A and B are shown apart, each in its own frame.
Chain A
Amino acid sequence: MMPSNFFTDWAFMIPFFITACFSLGVYLLLTAGSGDVLWFWSGQEILVGLFVAVVVGWVARGFFCDSRRRAALNPKRWLRAVGYVCGPFFIELAKANVDVAYRVITGRIRPGIVRVKSGMETDLGVLMLANSITLTPGTLTVDINEDTNDLYVHVINVSDDVAARDALEAHEIFSTFDCPSWIRRIAE
């Protein structure tokens, strides 16, 4: 489906351009060290990378740049994302593994599915929160209500007062760090 005013249709061109640039970046990272054009790459790899980037940008622009908000393009947020993954996220992941080790060995589980209000507005924010919840202690995202962005989370050890409540706030899932506010500063 090619729009008639192809090259001036910015709603079409900008998502295409962003996706193609990202694809080219990843391709060049994967092939770094193949030659000495631009220090690191061989000429063929750059040409193939450009071709792949155009194809991927064409096919994937609708999924990759779904929303109109471009806040996630800010390089400051990328640095924050790296800091989040190396710091709070990794510590939560380590704790999750000690927790799983304990439950595998003792077999002490008390599972249930609870509702969590995500408080996120963009798809990227919900995605990051859902994946963070899956990899943190005792929780696994099972379903998402796409109208309200509520998450349904399988918890391996539900306490009585959590079971009695209608919905949890997102930050109550994480014990040491306030991961949702980190994610909000990265993705929204």
Chain B
Amino acid sequence: MSLLLFIWHALMWLFIAIGLFFNSLGVFGILRFPDVYTRLHADTKATTFGTIFTSLAVVIYGLGHWLKTADGQYGSLVLHTLIAVVVLAITNATGAHAIARAALRRGHQPARAVVNKLEDSTS
């Protein structure tokens, strides 16, 4: 039983560590990259992945307590977190697309671009 408890806690801490690592990577990406498009690269991918892992830690926490106490509130915690992950993955990508498109409409050109097929097609 104590081995199970150890694995449970270790998995939780592991997932929180992975999640925080990638989320902070997203922040560094925002600070380091030159323009809005490359910043969105860092932001969307890293935060989606990081948040999936922090949410997985919550799911494991909830599942463990659910099995231990058979209390329904932990079951709904797991369910709500899973729904939040799905919605987050969809809205993060869609939001990034909306921001990139808005930046493009405002006339922001990608910095240091090697090729720009959009400019060729409109001019």
Contacts and interface: CB of A to CB of B under 8 A. Distances in A.
Partners in one complex: yes
Interface of A: 26, 29-30, 32-33, 85, 93-94, 96-97, 100-101, 103-104, 107, 109-115, 127, 130-132, 134-135, 138, 140-143, 152, 154, 156, 158, 162-163, 166-167
A113 B117 contact: yes
Given A33-B79, A100-B29, A142-B97, 20 more contacts: A32-B75, A97-B22, A97-B45, A97-B49, A100-B26, A109-B38, A111-B38, A111-B110, A111-B113, A111-B114, A112-B113, A113-B117, A113-B118, A131-B94, A134-B97, A140-B40, A140-B96, A142-B100, A142-B104, A163-B114
B9 to A, nearest CB: 24
Contact of A135 (B32, B48, B72): B48
B93 A131 contact: yes
A100 B37 contact: no
Nearest to B96: A134
A104 B25 contact: yes
A135 B33 contact: no
Nearest to B74: A33
B112 interface: yes
A133 to B, nearest CB: 9
A107 to B, nearest CB: 6
Interface residues of B, number: 48
B90 interface: yes
B58 interface: no
A162 B97 CA distance: 22
B115 A113 contact: yes
B97 A109 contact: no
A114 B115 CA distance: 7
B1 interface: no
Given A33-B72, A33-B76, A100 B118 contact: no
A143 B104 contact: yes
A141 B93 CA distance: 9
A3 B81 CA distance: 40
A187 to B, nearest CB: 14
A109 B22 CA distance: 19
B2 interface: no
Interface string B77-96: 00110010000011011101
